[in-house]
Amino acid sequence: MGLTSIRSSGWWLRGIAVAFTAASVIAAGPRALADPAADAPAETAPTVATGPADPQYLLQNMATLLMGYQRDLPNPAEQQYWWQQLATLPGRAGVNLATMLDPAQYQGTDGQDRLRDTLQKLIDMTVHQIPTIAGAGLLPVNRLFVPNWSHNGQWGSPEDNALEVDSPAHSAGNVGLTGQFRYPCVRAEGDVWYQNEDGVCVSGDTPGAVFKTGTARKIQIIDSRGLRMAATLWYPEGALDPGNTEKYPMTVFTNGAAVPQSAYYAWTETAVTRGYIGLTYDEAGQGASDGTVLDQEIPFNVPYCASSGICRDVEDVMRWVFNDDIGNAPTTESFLGDTSDPVNFWNTVHIPRIGKLYDPAYAPEGDNIRNPALDLVDLDRVGVWSQSQGSLGLTHYLKDVGEGKGMDGRPLPKPAAAVVMSALSPVFNSIVPTQIQTADIDIPGMTIAGITGLNNFNFGGANIGLNLTDGPLGDKAWYDWLRRHGSGNAALQTLTLLGGSHGDTANIDFIVPQATYSVAVSVNYAVDWMDCHVQQDDSACGRVTQADPHLSKSVASEIAPDGTAGPSYCMNTPTEQSLETAAFGPIKDLLNKIYGEDPPAPCVPASGDIPLHP
């Protein structure tokens, strides 16, 4: 999810800098009407609220952060679930530790190698962004989306949670584990119902209901640095039936900093209900994957990539999905990195690895398995989505796709659509239809100005540029910059959720402040975007252009059906100041003058259907 309080130290410093370089533009006014089908329509509607801030609205907007607490904290089932997670933690950690300390497993010719791997596992789990206790996870997964890993017939049980969040001694997650999951219907009220076999959404405790189910399978992917990443494949009902030859679209989700892949199951499971195969994974250095927090950040010499490990893992996973070879990334085998000079040290420092680095080549030559779903996937219909730090990696991936080569110099697989939520790196062309999402009180983003300066600042060979943006003002600046200065005619869309914060584009419950409706709004827009551009579904194109009442009143949500080549249509227009527009708008005004950045682009207020088609 990427909250600054739980990010790595480098990310924390960048987050502070971002907050003080946030951007906004002054423009607002009443909604006008125009014909969206007119030739070369004039973009005239202001897109950021200005004027005196209404204290009552500001308080209401901020109060949305308490909605999730009001739903979860008084819920006895939620309380019991969290208590059982905490109460069983010592026992779960003890079982893992006892396994690690069993001397019998360290006998024989490979005993010393196994011992080193065990010690490495303990180091990795301790130096993750959220550590585990001997591999036992501290925080439970949202019980409404966890598969029935234990096969006990009880959905969202503590046993399922333990199998989801715990990682055994010699594995990246519970590799090989399978379980059924129900098809979720995420509702605007904040609760979750499930599809029965008739396709009707009903409460999960409806007597006699027979629910549709898909199959989840835990696997691991070896990245180019030799680290095992915990991953999960999600299959729709019937996909694994013997003799099935249907080809399915696919989605790949890259999660944010400090949180595991389970924080975004709502998006992938909802896509599965529409007929997709899904893939979620933990980047190296978090969740159940190998690596430490430094493996996400180092080196700091990758242009336009705030977390180079995340950027590299996105590329590796996409190559794996498409059955491309994953090459070996440059690595250092010295104790702490290259100490020949300060810059080299800064770009190679790492926690010393004493365990095995795995071969990313496919078996039998290497340690990677090939994509088990490959024969079922239509590789022309693969969509990608992400949140927070994962979105920094994914937008960097989109930049590299547009430039024709990845971090290893080879062309990258081109996705059919992308959804990036709550963080952005610079992108210079729109050749992939891209939807961006944020919330009214998301982490304040910086101006996009200085795209080749501040955003890519090189200090003696170490790239320490603040090349990220977030929040309604930052997202608007990113969207405007790409439309004005970029190339390509793939559709672009920017959405800001009403109220809410960084956690509103994640399905974490109980501890994260969020508006109750946000997950439903975010999921629906994201999956409709996929259906429009991946499935070529014209009805989904129509739905994704409609303004939900839970979109921001402080910044316009917009869509440019032809990307940089055509107009941007207003889905709604701003009427009220939010905390971010009121507090950070003047700062962005000043930065605009300093950097010579253009004022915010207006949009076309549409009176009819917005012309978005597959």
Number of Cα atoms under 13 Å in the Cβ half of residue 200: 6
pLDDT at 52: 87
CA 547-550-556 angle, 5° bins: 55
pLDDT at 592: 78
pLDDT at 587: 83
Give which of 281, 169, 177 is closest to 229, Cα–Cα.
Answer: 281
Strands 462-463 and 201-202: unpaired
Give which of 347, 350, 368 is closest to 359, Cα–Cα.
Answer: 368
**Cα gap 145→262, rounded to integer Å:** 8
Average confidence (pLDDT) over 376-387: 98
- Residue 178 pLDDT class (50, 70, 90 cuts): very high
Per-residue burial over 513-547, b if 16 or more Cβ lie within 10 Å, else e, is bbbbbbbbbbbbbbbbbbbbbbbebeebbebbbee
- Residue 390 pLDDT class (50, 70, 90 cuts): very high
What does the chain come to in residues? Answer: 614
Residue 461 pLDDT more than 70? Answer: no
Residue 23 pLDDT more than 50? Answer: no
3-state secondary structure of 365: coil
Average confidence (pLDDT) over 268-279: 98
pLDDT at 515: 94
Contacts of 3 (CB under 8 A, 6+ apart): 258, 502, 503, 512
**Cα gap 154→139, rounded to integer Å:** 20
Residue 33 pLDDT more than 70? Answer: no
Which pair of structure tokens corresponds to residue 10?
């480098």
User: Cβ(220)–Cβ(172) under 8 Å?
Assistant: yes
pLDDT at 457: 60
Give which of 607, 562, 510 is closest to 142, Cα–Cα.
Answer: 510
- The mean predicted confidence, pLDDT, of the chain is 87
Give which of 262, 232, 268 is closest to 383, Cα–Cα.
Answer: 268
pLDDT at 25: 28
Count Cβ atoms within 10 A of the Cβ of residue 459 and give its class: 0-12 exposed, 13-18 middle, 19 or more buried: exposed
Please state, as a whole number, how many other Cβ atoms lie within 10 Å of the Cβ of residue 559. Answer: 24
Residue 586 pLDDT more than 90? Answer: no
**Cα gap 400→396, rounded to integer Å:** 6
Give the ranges where 349-498 is alpha helix by DSSP (H): 389-403, 471-485
Quick: pLDDT tens for 237-260. Answer: 999 999 999 999 999 999 998 889
pLDDT at 366: 95
Q: Residue 243 — left, alpha, or beta (φ > 0 → left; ψ -120 to 50 → alpha)?
A: left
What sign does the CA torsion over 316, 317, 320, 322 have? negative
User: Cβ(383)–Cβ(377) under 8 Å?
Assistant: no
Residue 9 pLDDT more than 60? Answer: no
pLDDT at 213: 97
Quick: pLDDT tens for 484-505. Answer: 999 999 999 999 999 999 999 9
Quick: pLDDT tens for 155-168. Answer: 999 999 999 999 87
Domains of the chain: 1-75+142-614 (3.40.50.1820)
Residues pairing with 195 in the sheet: 201
pLDDT at 189: 84
Please state, as a whole number, how many other Cβ atoms lie within 10 Å of the Cβ of residue 12. Answer: 13
pLDDT at 154: 92
Whether the pTM exceeds 0.95: the reply is no
Average confidence (pLDDT) over 589-607: 82
Residue 399 pLDDT more than 90? Answer: yes
pLDDT at 468: 60
**Cα gap 577→590, rounded to integer Å:** 18
**Cα gap 540→531, rounded to integer Å:** 6
pLDDT at 270: 98
Give the ranges where 327-407 is alpha helix by DSSP (H): 342-348, 389-403
**Cα gap 479→10, rounded to integer Å:** 26
Helices (H) and strands (E) in the chain, counts: 15, 17
Residue 263 pLDDT more than 50? Answer: yes
pLDDT at 462: 63
Question: What percentage of the chain carries pLDDT values higher than 90?
Answer: 62
Residues pairing with 382 in the sheet: 250
